[in-house]
Amino acid sequence: MERVLITGAAGFLGSHLCERFIKEGFRVEAMDNLITGDIKNLDSLMGNPNFTFHNHDVTEYIDIEGDLDHILHFASPASPIDYLKIPIQTLKVGSLGIHNCLGLAKDKGARVTIASTSEIYGDPEVHPQHEEYFGHVNTIGPRGVYDEAKRFQESITMAYHRYHGVETRIVRIFNTYGPRMRLNDGRVLPAFIGQALRGEDLTIFGTGTQTRSFCYVDDLVEGIFRLHFSDETRPVNIGNPDEITIGDFAEEIIALTGTDQKVVYRDLPENDPKQRQPDITRARTVLDWEPKINRAEGLKRTYAYFKTLTAEELHKSEHKDFAVFHKD
C-alpha cells in the first residue's frame, strides 16, 4: 500500500483529496495546523486504519517515518478573509512550507503535486488565461501576499525538479466550490449563499460585469488526481471554463434559494480581477479531463450542504468587512 502525505488536509480541498486517496487504496498521512482548516472536515476518515492525522505546521521541519511515495502540498490560507488577516503565515507556508515538502520529497523519493492558483495570473490582460501567460500581478498590493507566495512556490518546485530531479506536478486551481466551504471565507459563492440564508441583500462590488468561472469540487479532485499520476511537469489549469458575470451569478443564487433579496452595489476592491476564465486545452489534451458537473447541479448540491448548518454557524459566518467579498 503506497503512502501519501496531504498537507492542508483539514481544509475544503484537502479533506476531499484525503477521501479520494483513501477510496483509491492509499495510506493517507494528513497534516494540518488547523489555523484555517476544520478537523470536522475529516470526521468520515477518523478511525480508518489507513488514515493518520498530524496536527503540525508545515513551516516547521516535517518528519514522516518510513517510506513515502507521494506528497500533495495544499496547505495555505486560500480565502481573502484569511490571507489578509494572516499575511505573514500565508507567505511562510508558500515559502518555508513548500521548501520543507520538497526536501522531504527529495529524501523519500516521493512525487510532489503543489496547489497553485489562478491568482498567479493577477488581474489578467489575456483572456481566457492559458499556462504560458506570465500574469499581471501587483507584488505590493493587498493580494500580493497570496499571489507571490504561490508564484514563488511554483519557482522553487521547478528548481527542485530541474536541479535535484524531484518528480513534481503543478496544478493551477481556478474558482472551486462545493460542500465544506466556509460561509465566511470571503469568496463570492459562499458570501452570496450566506447572505441569502440570513435574509440579507446580496452585495456586489463594482458593476457586476466582472466574471468568474466555477468548478465543482468533485471535478477538481478528479483533475488533480489525473495530473498527479500523469507525466506532465508543466503547470496545468484545472477549472471550469463556463464563465458568468457576477451580476448574473447573483440572480442565479436568488433563484436557487427562492429568496427575494435585492442586489446592492459597493466599490470594487483594489486589484480585484475583472475576468477569470481558464483555458483548459492542456488538461483536455494531456489528462483527458474536463469538468462534468454543470453549475446548476453543483449549486444545488452546495446549497443543500449549507442548509444543514445550524443557526449559530450561519450567523457566525456574517462579516461586516464587505471589502473582501468576491475575491478569488
Annotate 217-246 with three-state secondary structure.
HHHHHHHHHHHHCCCCCCCEEECCCCEEEH
Q: From start to end of 39-86, where are the E strands?
A: 51-55, 70-73
Q: What is the pTM of this model?
A: 0.93
Cα Rg, the chain, nearest whole Å: 19
Q: How many CA atoms lie within 13 A of 131 on its CB side?
A: 18
> Is residue 7 over pLDDT 70?
yes
**Cell numbers that stand for 290 in this block:** 474536463
What residues contact 289, with CB distance under 8 A and at least 6 apart? 222, 223, 226, 227, 238, 280, 283
Catalytic residue, chosen from 83, 121, 146, 216, is: 146
Output the pLDDT for position 322: 37
The pLDDT confidence band at residue 271, using thresholds 50, 70 and 90, is low
Q: What cell was used for 56? A: 503540525
Which has more pLDDT, 205 or 92? Answer: 92
**Tell me, what's the pLDDT at 310?**
61
Provide CATH 3.40.50.720 ranges for the chain: 3-175+216-238
- Determine the angle formed by the axes of helices 188-197 and 295-306, rounding to 10 degrees: 50
103-146 residue pLDDT tens: 999 999 999 999 999 999 988 899 999 999 999 999 998 889 99
Residue 327 has pLDDT above 50, yes or no: no
The 10s digit of each residue's pLDDT in 199-237 is 899 999 888 998 999 999 999 999 999 999 999 999 999
Long-range pairs, 22-25, Cβ under 8 A, ≥24: 22/48, 22/50, 22/51, 24/225, 25/1
Domain with CATH 3.90.25.10 in the chain: 182-213+242-277+293-324
27-51 mean pLDDT:
97
Contact predicate 131/235, CB 8 Å: yes
Give the pLDDT mean for 63-80: 95
The domain 182-213+242-277+293-324 having CATH identifier 3.40.50.970: the answer here is: no
Task: Establish whether the linkage from the previous residue to 128 is cis, with ω within 30° of 0.
Answer: yes
Q: What does the longest C-alpha to C-alpha distance in the chain come to?
A: 58
Spatial distance between the Cα atoms of 238 and 143, rounded to a whole number of angstroms: 21
Q: Confirm whether 146 is a catalytic residue.
A: yes
Domain 3-175+216-238: CATH architecture, name and number where available: 3-Layer(aba) Sandwich (3.40)
